[in-house]
Chain A
Amino acid sequence: MNNLLKEFQHAELQRQTRRHFLKECGFGLGAIGLGSLLGSCGTSGSETAAPALPDDPMAVRMPQFAPKAKRVIYIHMAGAPSQLELFDYKPELEKYHGKDCPAEFLEGKKFAFIQGVPKMLGPQGKFAQHGQSGAWISNYLPYLQSVADEITFVKGMYTDQFNHAPAQLLMHTGSPRLGRPSLGAWSVYGLGSENQNLPGFIVLASGGKQPDAGKSVWGSGFLPSVYQGVQCRTGGDPVLYVSDPSGMNRDIRKSTIEAINEINRQTYEEVQDPEILTRISQYEMAFRMQMSVPEVMDVSQEPQYILDMYGVKPGDGTFAMNCLLARKLVENGVRFVQLFDWGWDTHGTSASGAIEIGLHDKCRESDQAVAGLLKDLKMRGLLDETLVVWGGEFGRTPMQENRNGQVLPFMGRDHHLDAFTIWMAGGGVKKGFSFGETDELGYYAVKDKTHVHDLQATILHLMGFDHEEFTYPFQGRNFRLTDVAGKVIKPVLA
């Protein structure tokens, strides 16, 4: 009898293959993952019992307080525009133009390219004050001058990274390394998506290149991948392969997707992997996007004077077009629109990278559209609840770049992490305000210094989230966008 029992146990154990083990584990782990996903839904928890199946990952989670900015348009000028030519007026720097950089600026410092003792480079833009608020804006951005009173400038920005990719990652994900969710992903995770036919987070890139940090700057990191940014093309099909293949009509397409989703749903019930939910919702979204995306991305219905205001021709795929599309997207309830424009890295090694030529051209290409976007949002009553952020990933040095100790053919500035300017307008920030100052030569932020994490904390605050409470559990600890730092810049809040 005893032997029989042993034999039975043995057989039972033999039957347990590795596959069984993994499957059980998968179920267990999936359940843990799901549990944590649900647990993070409500901040106060218990009052509502966890729903059985979070069939809509795009449902809104609870903002901790009433949001001022319900949508964001984040305009990232990739490569980092020079604050000293555009907003941070330093008449003192003009006096030092062409003189050797003081030694205390160089001691213990590392630059991307500057070597030895560089010369100081005076501001190249012609500065004047604009609007009631007296904002300093140079003649590189003549159109922006007309909307100066809508804007809050943050002039004491600083960062930790002096190379493009890590600095861009820091700016958008709160960490210079890969693997963290981006600001847009956090926003959609927190506030959900409004328009059921459009992704909550859309990315539009211009300038001929992708950002140096690649698609990770709009990635979802450890958040379920349903929250990552969806990049749309601005010429041709907005989303590739979203239209039906020839010979397949929409009904067949629909039943195909329904069948696939049914199988996916069964798999989800079996293994509880939240990524399956992502897949299901993406299939459904893609199907709906077949109709909605071409419609929202079509600017041919816009009156000519609106196109003129942005300075676009239909289908030209420029940054200006992206600004117009950004307006159309937020108008249609897209939560987060991320614009990237490449080509602001002005080292002075070539004409296109020269302050007096390349930077000037980039300003001319983008200035009218940005000002037009603010005006357009305002008159539609959208600017009140839409936050527009404009900025690069770091600043530029008050010194002229001297790559390899040589005199460069054009005027250029190296990467600089101790001072740069970003600006914000709309949803919950002050109008016609300037926060923070740099020293007389624009080298260090000296008053009201604002770290990248402070900026992120502020943006989350405007969207209704306490950046310290807004977390996602991953690998055993709660993560947040601002990691362990950042404080809300209260003075810029309206």
Chain B
Amino acid sequence: MASISDFTFFMLSIFLLQVSDWALFFGRFHPVLVHLPIGFLLLAALLAIGKRFGKVSIGNATISLILLVSAISATIACGAGYLLSLGGGYDEEILDEHMWQGIGVAAFAWVAWAVQSDFIHKKLPVSRVVYLPALGLATILTMVAGHHGGSLTHGEGYLTAYTPEPFRGLAGMEPRREEITEIKPIANVQEAVVYQDIVQPMLSIHCTQCHNATKKKGDLRMDSFEYLIKGGENGPIFVAGKSEESEMLKRCLLPLEDDDHMPPKGKPQLSDNQLALLAWWIDQGAPIDKKVADLKADDKIKPALASLSEAPADSKAGGSQSTESPVLSLKVPEPDEKALASLKSLNLLVNPVASEQNFLEVSAVNAPEFSDSKVAVLTPLAEQIIWLKLGDTKITDAALSEIAKLKNLNKLHLEYTGVTDAGLKNLEELPYLEYLNLVGTKVTDAGLQGVANMKTIRNVFVWKTAVTDAGIAQLRQARPDLNVVTGLDEAAVAAFLQAGKGDSSQVAAKVKK
């Protein structure tokens, strides 16, 4: 026995001499090793209870062995835990408690083993009295230490963060705060407060998961301006006015493979635009209350600022996937062959949208005679058709009640058809409709206001309709996220031509010189 303690001590002393990669290497096995004493001790406790009630017949030697391995593994886990703590970045208070609880587990496990063993028992018969309390304490401490360990790793409150109502209210916990997972577009960038509206939302998504009140990695909190200025264990994280000397930015710009890179590899990364904005804010003195308009915006930052008013394109990894319509993530069954054939017999073009999906694009580009009476052929493919082009066909409002059954419709072309306001009403419930082309139809302002009820619509085209500027303004008011595209009339074309000409005369003058 002594030899094992000696060995442990020997190993420890080696590590302590060089708190280095080795220390952290073994330290990181702590989360693996701790599960051994947990298991063994619970098993020992279970067997002890079973034996007490006479349900289990088991020899002392077996229990003794289990206790011995519990004590050994608990001791090793303690050592590894200590080495891990040298890496830093944990809440001191919880860490301290966790450490003593862990040591307690090991100590009581040794005690329980010792008094259980025949050797001590013979010499000191009374010692059996402490056996059950020691085992009990060791088991309880295991659980407490385990919980604190979890809090250290995942942050305090991790266990109960998702407590559902009504238990939440009963336990007197605050209502759960909505996590920010996506940066919302800013309507008026010039009026946005740089820190509050641009910088902090960025930090909330990318940084505060590990740098918050309960989990202060590197002793750094980034959840409010004061803490941001305070910095972490290595001092301030930015130098106001000098982004190039700011640790926060340097870390972000390190190669992804670098250990010091932030956010850590595997976590969502800041986009180039976000980094540019962060650098810009620091360069401008990192003010807390200044608006975009108050700061000097040079040419380089303008595209990044402009990107704030758009829906986030690259906040998610992969970039291209983020603007993907949600309909594309649905799974639909394979289209019915007969239904496909009947579409093709009407000269409709039926194209698969992508492999490994069963969605279809249907186009009447070769079927200008397509009309209301034929529209029912689409219904058997209601799940599959997501893009439908019926522009320049003979359909009218009557077709739209049938088209409304195509529940996964994402893009709908109705340009130069007979549809009117009345027919559009049918489309309001389509849950995935994003694109609606009404160019050259008889749609009026009244119909356009109905478009505001289409929850998912993003682009609507109303050139050459009866829609008025006032109607468009009203829709834009109701749905600022919606892109209403009208077209140029003769006056607008004339203005466009004039604008271009003004500049050209300058060039011409320069050339003559």
CB-CB under 8 A from A241, the residues of chain B are none
A493-B503 CB under 8 A given contacts A309-B493, A381-B459: no
Q: Are A380 and B320 in contact (CB under 8 A)?
A: no
Contact with A along B495-512 (1 / 0, CB 8 A): 011011111101100110
Q: Are A367 and B353 in contact (CB under 8 A)?
A: no
A263 at the interface (CB under 8 A from B): no
A44 at the interface (CB under 8 A from B): yes
B3 at the interface (CB under 8 A from A): no
CB-CB under 8 A from A65, the residues of chain B are 354
How far does the alpha carbon of A47 sit from the alpha carbon of B305 in the complex, in Å? 48
Q: Are B497 and A63 in contact (CB under 8 A)?
A: no
CB-CB under 8 A from B496, the residues of chain A are 143, 146, 309, 371-372, 375
Among the stretches B9-17, B87-95, B375-383, B482-490, the one at the interface with A is B482-490
CB-CB under 8 A from B324, the residues of chain A are 66
Q: Are A433 and B493 in contact (CB under 8 A)?
A: no
Q: Are A381 and B366 in contact (CB under 8 A)?
A: no
Name the prevailing secondary structure of the B interface residues. Answer: mixed
Contact with B along A180-211 (1 / 0, CB 8 A): 00000000000110111100000000000000
CB-CB under 8 A from B499, the residues of chain A are 142-143, 146
Count of chain A residues near B, Cβ 8 A: 62
A44-B413 CB under 8 A given contacts A133-B303, A139-B506: no
Among the stretches A102-110, A251-259, A356-364, A400-408, the one at the interface with B is A356-364
A64 at the interface (CB under 8 A from B): yes
B66 at the interface (CB under 8 A from A): no
A12 to chain B, nearest CB (A): 48
B256 at the interface (CB under 8 A from A): no
How far does the alpha carbon of A380 sit from the alpha carbon of B439 in the complex, in Å? 7
B362 to chain A, nearest CB (A): 11
Taking a contact as CB atoms closer than 8 A, the residue among B349, B353, B461, B485 that contacts A66 in the complex is B353
Among the stretches B150-158, B215-223, B311-319, the one at the interface with A is B311-319
B336 at the interface (CB under 8 A from A): no
Q: Are B351 and A380 in contact (CB under 8 A)?
A: no
How far does the alpha carbon of A306 sit from the alpha carbon of B354 in the complex, in Å? 36
Contact with B along A480-492 (1 / 0, CB 8 A): 0000000010110
A131 to chain B, nearest CB (A): 8
Contact with A along B246-276 (1 / 0, CB 8 A): 0000000000000000000000000110000
A459-494 residues with Cβ-Cβ distance < 8 A to B are 461, 464, 488, 490-491, 493-494
Most buried by A among B307, B320, B461: B320
Q: Are B485 and A379 in contact (CB under 8 A)?
A: yes
Q: Are B354 and A194 in contact (CB under 8 A)?
A: no
B284 at the interface (CB under 8 A from A): no
Q: Are B502 and A142 in contact (CB under 8 A)?
A: yes
How far does the alpha carbon of A231 sit from the alpha carbon of B61 in the complex, in Å? 93
Q: Are B320 and A461 in contact (CB under 8 A)?
A: yes
How far does the alpha carbon of A197 sit from the alpha carbon of B349 in the complex, in Å? 13
B356 at the interface (CB under 8 A from A): yes
CB-CB under 8 A from A139, the residues of chain B are 503-504, 506-507
How far does the alpha carbon of A308 sit from the alpha carbon of B439 in the complex, in Å? 20
Q: Are A379 and B415 in contact (CB under 8 A)?
A: no
B225 at the interface (CB under 8 A from A): no
Contact with A along B321-334 (1 / 0, CB 8 A): 00110001000000
Taking a contact as CB atoms closer than 8 A, the residue among A42, A461, A491 that contacts B355 in the complex is A42
CB-CB under 8 A from A136, the residues of chain B are 299
CB-CB under 8 A from B461, the residues of chain A are 379-381
B306 at the interface (CB under 8 A from A): yes
A491-B314 CB under 8 A given contacts A44-B356, A66-B328, A133-B303: yes
Considering the complex, give the chain B residue whose CB is closest to the CB of A311: B497
B437 at the interface (CB under 8 A from A): yes
Considering the complex, give the chain B residue whose CB is closest to the CB of A307: B493
A305-B485 CB under 8 A given contacts A142-B500, A356-B511, A384-B435: no
Q: Are B354 and A66 in contact (CB under 8 A)?
A: yes
Count of chain B residues near A, Cβ 8 A: 58
B491 to chain A, nearest CB (A): 9
Taking a contact as CB atoms closer than 8 A, the residue among A134, A368, A378 that contacts B299 in the complex is A134
Taking a contact as CB atoms closer than 8 A, the residue among B313, B357, B415 that contacts A430 in the complex is B313
How far does the alpha carbon of A491 sit from the alpha carbon of B310 in the complex, in Å? 14
How far does the alpha carbon of A430 sit from the alpha carbon of B323 in the complex, in Å? 11
Q: Are B320 and A490 in contact (CB under 8 A)?
A: yes
How far does the alpha carbon of A390 sit from the alpha carbon of B341 in the complex, in Å? 40
Contact with B along A39-53 (1 / 0, CB 8 A): 000111000000000
CB-CB under 8 A from B285, the residues of chain A are none
A129 at the interface (CB under 8 A from B): yes
A117 to chain B, nearest CB (A): 28
Contact with B along A126-137 (1 / 0, CB 8 A): 100100111010
Taking a contact as CB atoms closer than 8 A, the residue among A62, A134, A368 that contacts B500 in the complex is A368
B143 at the interface (CB under 8 A from A): no
How far does the alpha carbon of A85 sit from the alpha carbon of B141 in the complex, in Å? 75
Q: Are A368 and B365 in contact (CB under 8 A)?
A: no
CB-CB under 8 A from A430, the residues of chain B are 310, 313
Q: Are A381 and B437 in contact (CB under 8 A)?
A: yes
B50 at the interface (CB under 8 A from A): no
B363 at the interface (CB under 8 A from A): yes
Contact with B along A275-315 (1 / 0, CB 8 A): 00000000000000000000000000000011011010000
B235 at the interface (CB under 8 A from A): no
A202 to chain B, nearest CB (A): 15
Q: Are A63 and B355 in contact (CB under 8 A)?
A: yes
Considering the complex, give the chain A residue whose CB is closest to the CB of B319: A490
Contact with A along B341-366 (1 / 0, CB 8 A): 00000010101111111010001011
A332 at the interface (CB under 8 A from B): yes
A192-B351 CB under 8 A given contacts A134-B299, A305-B493, A379-B439: yes
Taking a contact as CB atoms closer than 8 A, the residue among B271, B497, B506 that contacts A126 in the complex is B506
A333 at the interface (CB under 8 A from B): yes
A238 at the interface (CB under 8 A from B): no
Considering the complex, give the chain A residue whose CB is closest to the CB of B499: A146
Q: Which residues of B contact A (CB under 8 A)?
A: 271-272, 299, 302-303, 306-307, 309-310, 313-314, 318-320, 323-324, 328, 347, 349, 351-357, 359, 363, 365-366, 413, 415, 435, 437, 439, 459, 461, 463, 485-490, 493-494, 496-497, 499-504, 506-507, 510-511
Taking A139-B506, A308-B494, A491-B314 as known contacts, 14 extra A-B pairs with beta carbons closer than 8 A to each other, sorted by chain A number, are A63-B355, A66-B328, A66-B353, A126-B507, A305-B493, A309-B493, A367-B500, A371-B496, A379-B439, A380-B463, A430-B310, A432-B306, A464-B354, A488-B320
> What are 29 sample pairs from A and B whose C-beta atoms fall under 8 A apart?
A66-B328, A126-B506, A129-B302, A132-B309, A139-B504, A139-B507, A142-B499, A142-B500, A142-B504, A145-B503, A191-B351, A196-B347, A196-B349, A305-B493, A308-B497, A332-B365, A333-B363, A367-B500, A378-B485, A379-B488, A380-B415, A380-B439, A381-B439, A381-B485, A428-B320, A430-B310, A430-B313, A461-B320, A494-B323
Q: Which residues of A contact B (CB under 8 A)?
A: 42-44, 60, 62-67, 126, 129, 132-134, 136, 139-140, 142-143, 145-146, 191-192, 194-197, 305-306, 308-309, 311, 332-333, 356-357, 360, 364, 367-368, 371-372, 375, 378-381, 384, 428, 430-434, 461, 464, 488, 490-491, 493-494
